[in-house]
Structure 1
Amino acid sequence: MRLALLACLALAACAQEVDTPVVESDAADAEVFSPAGMTFEVEGEEGVTRTYFGPDGTYIDFDGDIESGRGSYEVRPDGQLCFTPDDPDAGTACWTNEGEPDADGWMTSRRVSDGLTIRARPIIGD
């Protein structure tokens, strides 16, 4: 679920009033949003968690103040946000965002493999 939350958060961050360019993902020369250095609040089947995206392509998931997972992430040219946990038994999961963020910055994200949806938004000032 943490992967889904991150994807959702990344899209929500694009809708916030920041200087990050947002473009259509199918454009050949489009710049792709990067969540590097940001933390997202994620709401899904496991409750509300947080994910921090490091500038080095790693992420850390938190449940409250407890680290609950970590691994690497990649924003693909098609806009999918993909997570590969450090756990060798877990595979890569990719997410896509749906629509625009709501008035509170929440974005819906869907896991490509099974359609699971979550909501995520950037945590501003954290």
Structure 2
Amino acid sequence: MYLFVYGVISSHLHSNPFYRSFTLIEDVAWVTGCLYDTGMGFPALAPGDAIVFGKLLQLDDDQFASMIQMVKHYDLLNSPFQFHVRPIKAVSARNQYHAVAFMYDDGLELTKVESGSWQ
């Protein structure tokens, strides 16, 4: 399974042992959407027509199940923000991928990150 990451995971991929176990497919990838600053140290990807930059990872079923558990903890700690796994087309300079991303349903009146990058 391909997972598009755009925030905390993307920026800490190489320094966190949990994330290092994932296979990095594309170091630079992008999707169509809108990136918002939650004000809580992580961004929110929501549907939209801007370009959002991140990385593309490949996870096996066990790794994805572990990621789902981690996201459930974020959801409990960061109400009203709730992640949802959504299918998305990720693009790189080399290829297009059918992927999934953890997304929000809307920007919840948050500040848009105009650059489309959390870095």
Q: TM-score, normalised by structure 2?
A: 0.32
Q: Which has the higher contact order (CA 8 A, sep 6+)?
A: 2
* Structure with the largest fraction of helix: 2
TM-score, normalisation: structure 1? 0.31
